[in-house]
Amino acid sequence: MPLSPLEFQRVFFVYETASAPVLSGLTASFGRGWTGIVGPNGCGKSTLLRLACGELEPTSGGIHRPGPVAYCPQRTDRPPPELQEFLSTDEPRACVLRGRLGLQADWLTRWNTLSHGEQKRAQLAVVLARQPAVLALDEPTNHIDSQTRDLLADVLDDFSGIGLLVSHDRELLDRLCRRCLLMSLGQVVLRSGNYSAARAQQQAEEASARAQRERLQHELRRIEREVSNRRREAARADKLRSKRHLDKHDHDGKGAINLARNTGKDGVAGRRMRQLEGRAAQAGARVDQVQVRPILKMGVALGGERARRPVLLRLDAGRLALGSDRWLVHPELVIPADARIGLTGKNGSGKSTIVRHIVDRLDLPAGRVVYLPQELDAERGATAATELRKLPDQVLGETLSHISRLGSDPRALLETAQPSPGETRKILLAMGMALQPHLIIMDEPTNHLDLPSIECLEAALADCPAALLLVSHDRRFLERLTRIRWHIVREERDSCVEGLHVH
User: Is pLDDT above 70 for 171?
Assistant: yes
User: Is pLDDT above 90 for 288?
Assistant: no
Instruction: Give pLDDT, residue 7.
Output: 96
Contact 439, 369 (CB under 8 A): yes
Mean pLDDT score, 367-390: 86
Instruction: Give pLDDT, residue 180.
Output: 95
Identify the CA nearest to 348 among candidates 152, 442, 488. 488
Instruction: Give pLDDT, residue 255.
Output: 60
Instruction: Give pLDDT, residue 264.
Output: 47
> How far is 274 from 496, CA to CA, in rounded Å?
88
Mean pLDDT score, 382-405: 86
Instruction: Give pLDDT, residue 251.
Output: 60
DSSP E strands: which ranges in 262-363?
Answer: 311-315, 318-323, 326-330, 333-336, 340-345
Identify the CA nearest to 470 among candidates 334, 378, 346, 342. 342
Give the chain's mean pLDDT. 84
% the chain with pLDDT above 70: 88
| 3-class SS of residue 239 | helix
For residue 113, how many other CB atoms are within 10 A of its CB? 15
More confident residue, 7 or 168: 7
Instruction: Give pLDDT, residue 400.
Output: 85
Instruction: Give pLDDT, residue 235.
Output: 67
Instruction: Give pLDDT, residue 286.
Output: 77
Mean pLDDT score, 315-330: 88
What are the CA-CA distances from residue 282 to residues 217, 220, 288, 394 (Å)? 12, 9, 10, 44
User: Is pLDDT above 60 for 408?
Assistant: yes
**pLDDT tier for residue 41 given thresholds of 50, 70 and 90:** confident
- DSSP collapsed to 3 states, 432-452: HCCCCCCEEEEECCCCCCCHH
Instruction: Give pLDDT, residue 35.
Output: 97
% the chain with pLDDT above 90: 36
More confident residue, 117 or 369: 369
The model's pTM is: 0.67
Instruction: Give pLDDT, residue 65.
Output: 95
Instruction: Give pLDDT, residue 51.
Output: 96
Which range has the worst mean pLDDT, 6-10, 116-120, 159-163, 180-184? 116-120
Instruction: Give pLDDT, residue 361.
Output: 93
Identify the CA nearest to 176 among candidates 187, 200, 160. 160
Instruction: Give pLDDT, residue 302.
Output: 64
User: Is pLDDT above 60 for 434?
Assistant: yes
> How far is 120 from 462, CA to CA, in rounded Å?
30
What are the CA-CA distances from residue 105 to residues 51, 95, 99, 149, 446 (Å)? 33, 11, 11, 21, 30
User: Is pLDDT above 80 for 495?
Assistant: no
List, for residues 225-277, the tens digit of each pLDDT value: 887 887 777 666 655 555 555 566 666 655 655 655 555 455 555 667 777 77
